[in-house]
Structure 1
């Protein structure tokens, strides 16, 4: 069982690295690099931060509990690692939104007019709600155990929905950006498939591959953290005690 997991998990790590390399290379090689001055170079932070936060870090944070080597550790350690990674993902996505909103303001482009922007902002808002709910339900010592047990299925379900919405937002955003920049005037038209279009289309395929790999890990029941782990067993005994 562990060998099968680590094979798929290793694939997800390789895809994570490729996604990071591709999105950074796109901004550096074809879009001119990075800045924070209201210019198009500021916009380049948006895809990098959103892919890094909502796809790579979020996806890997979602499978922390599935890693067999972590099952011998106290569950609190996994909770803190999971919550910490999700917080980093949330902060990066917030910074990515700030980059694009500031860029739009500086050149007088309307905000939130496209399907991509609607899906993207909904994803970040739902993710924020999920993280706060998880903080209250699973990390605060005052949270009762019955509430944690009731909240767990909902928390997991929302987490999967956020990942799916992230994939939709990323693919629609990549397509929107290519349609706006490869207009056939200052650059080769998108429908002629210039090198940039091929490269960024491959980025989209990598993002989908990473997302589906993470979802695959989350849907395999035998890769869930067993209930007979030391801390879980102690919890069950304490709950059954008078």
Structure 2
């Protein structure tokens, strides 16, 4: 009897691992729309307002920075955060998606960081002088350590099951902290970039202040962020979408953790009756 009960329990556990996610189809569509829309809008901003992309040290190389960072944090990182709740796959598949999305976050973010560092070096602009740059570097470093800790703890477990269970809540909390910090950093970056609108000057090492290529070729000198031109409206909308995305991620991730099929079915029965 005990052996039969054990087999039934293991079979039930295998079924529960492939249970559907806890969010509805409408929430899933809303979430993914909010994930991809800011990146698409920033792509349009870079092409239409900022001259497109290049890798030559000019302002066009800088354009890779906001696009890559938004793609990394808003698209990949947010999917990593809620992977266990929105994808209707086996638990191991969801774990793989979670780790892969986090790895893609780091890879794309490093491209964005490289672009801005090389651009600043070419244009003789100081590195890491603003609040945005400090917060961004902290977020990237924490995200890298979070991925490494998760890899060693859950993918290639170096610790006992008890220690993994103790670490899991902290892994979740720290992941959410990094994500919301990333969204805040994106908002600071958008505001910082728009504050330069119509005032694109920088100082060379010899003290000479010159206008950048961006002002000369792609902006009207009299245009200011406070005048709310179309570019400023677009970037404000991107910022609001990022705030909505953070709210949806919080809503999804704060739901009760119904990981087993019986708990899920029980929740549905209680909700319906």
Residue in structure 2 matched with residue 78 of structure 1 by the alignment: 94
1:212 to 247, 255, 263: 247
Runs of 4+ off more than 6 Å: none
1:44 matches 2:60:
no
Residue in structure 2 matched with residue 240 of structure 1 by the alignment: none
Q: Point out the structure with the larger helix share.
A: 1
- Written as runs of structure 1 = structure 2, the 5 A alignment for 1:40-119 is 40-67=59-86, 69-70=88-89, 73=90, 75-119=91-135
1:31 to 50, 56, 74: 50
TM (norm. structure 1) is 0.87
- Listed one character per residue, the Cα deviations across residues 3-23 of structure 1 (whole Å, up to 9, x for unaligned) are 853222211111123212211
Q: 1:46 Cα deviation (Å)?
A: 0.3
Relative contact order (C-alpha < 8 Å, sep 6+): which is higher?
1
Which protein has the larger Cα radius of gyration, Structure 1 or Structure 2? 2
Closer, same or farther: CA 108–225 of 1 in aligned 2, 3 Å: farther
Ranges in structure 1 where 5+ consecutive residues have no aligned partner: 230-242
1:164 to 165, 176, 180: 180
Ranges in structure 2 where 5+ consecutive residues have no aligned partner: 1-19, 200-218, 263-273
TM (norm. structure 2) is 0.77
Number of aligned residue pairs: give it: 224
Q: 1:48 Cα deviation (Å)?
A: 0.5
Residue in structure 2 matched with residue 239 of structure 1 by the alignment: none
**Distance in 2 between residues matched to 1:80 and 1:21, nearest whole Å:** 26
**Distance in 1 between residues matched to 2:238 and 2:88, nearest whole Å:** 31
- Listed one character per residue, the Cα deviations across residues 97-149 of structure 1 (whole Å, up to 9, x for unaligned) are 11101111111111111011111111111111100000010000443211210
